[in-house]
């Protein structure tokens, strides 16, 4: 893709699943990648996979609920690679599957803090250094649950909120050369979906059946959309929540 080679990308939640696939795709396209995750073993494994394939990557442990961690993630990126061009704010959790009135307070707070406030924290620290760089591109991971009522209340609320934050940031910083978009995956073959299937396998089957393509997506298919949205090929796309859902939202 155009405009990726030689640039610098941060990917959070990159120890597995969509984040790992996005980090690897950025590296395949020639970017230097900072792999951020709270899980050190998985994050370092992602770095090793990238470097074994001839790419360049660095791991930084980050808990997106901790502002100092997020600040350090961006500062380390600047120290190691000299700037920041792209960010894929992908870290997220699913929370418990419960009806709204049965949702524990601590589950609500944790999901919102990781999924929604975590994206805000990341953008808060990423955007100023992108402005100094002369521009950049951000992709936040929402979900089809950000465009419909699919899943637990905290998860759905957080994913809707990500789309709102994405649009606000896109409008506020467009004239400073920063594009901000979101990807909205359908059912993807990731550890998060596997965990959900342990508690409610019938729910996963139902959503897969609703996707006209009739299967789960591979993480690499979402990663391709993420890197495309950061590339020069998407230079006039901003404030857009892009469904990558096998046609689910068309039903």
Q: What pLDDT was estimated at residue 247?
A: 96
- Of 59, 108, 155, 173, the active-site residue reads 155
Other beta carbons less than 10 A from residue 79's beta carbon: 10
For residues 215 and 168, give the distance between their C-alpha atoms in angstroms, rounded to a whole number.
33
Surface-to-core class of residue 82, CB atoms within 10 Å of its CB (0-12 exposed, 13-18 middle, 19+ buried): exposed
Q: Is 244 helix (H, G, I), strand (E, B) or coil?
A: strand
CATH 3.40.50.720 is right for the domain spanning 8-250? yes
Residue 2: CA count within 13 A, CB half-sphere: 4
**Percentage with pLDDT > 90 across the chain:** 85
Q: What pLDDT was estimated at residue 185?
A: 97
Is 173 annotated as catalytic?
no
Q: Find all residues with CB under 8 Å of 211, minimum gap 6, and list them.
A: 186, 187, 245, 246, 247, 248
CA distance readout (Å), 108 to 5, 123, 168: 40, 22, 23
pLDDT tens, N- to C-terminus, the chain (251 residues): 899 999 999 999 999 999 999 999 999 999 999 999 999 999 999 999 999 999 999 999 999 999 999 999 999 999 999 999 999 999 999 888 788 888 999 999 999 999 999 999 999 999 999 999 999 999 999 999 999 998 889 999 999 999 999 999 999 999 999 999 999 999 998 877 777 667 677 777 887 888 999 999 999 999 999 999 999 999 999 999 999 999 999 98
Contact 140, 119 (CB under 8 A): yes
């Amino acid at each position: 893709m155009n405009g990726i080679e030689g640039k610098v990308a941060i990917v959070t939640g990159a120890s597995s699943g969509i984040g790992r696939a996005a980090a690897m795709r950025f590296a395949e396209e020639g970017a230097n990648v900072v792999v951020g995750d709270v899980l050190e073993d998985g994050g370092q494994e992602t770095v090793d996979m990238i470097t074994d394939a001839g790419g360049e990557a660095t791991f930084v442990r980050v808990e997106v609920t901790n502002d100092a961690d997020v600040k350090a993630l961006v500062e380390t990126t600047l120290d190691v690679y000299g700037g920041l061009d792209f960010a894929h704010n992908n870290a997220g959790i699913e929370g418990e599957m419960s009806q709204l009135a049965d949702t524990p307070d601590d589950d609500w707070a944790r999901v919102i803090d990781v999924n929604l406030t975590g994206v805000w924290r990341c953008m808060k620290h990423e955007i100023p250094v992108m402005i100094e760089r002369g521009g950049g591109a951000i992709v936040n991971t929402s979900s089809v649950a950000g465009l419909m009522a699919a899943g637990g209340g905290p998860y759905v609320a957080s994913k809707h909120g990500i789309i709102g934050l994405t649009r606000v940031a896109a409008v506020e910083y467009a004239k400073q050369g920063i594009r901000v978009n979101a990807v909205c995956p359908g059912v993807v073959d990731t550890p998060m979906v596997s965990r959900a299937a342990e508690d409610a396998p019938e729910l996963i089957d139902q959503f897969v059946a609703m996707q006209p393509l009739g299967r789960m997506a591979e993480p690499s298919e979402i990663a391709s959309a993420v890197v495309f949205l950061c590339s020069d090929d998407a230079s006039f796309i901003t404030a857009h929540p892009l469904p990558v859902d096998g046609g689910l939202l068309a039903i």
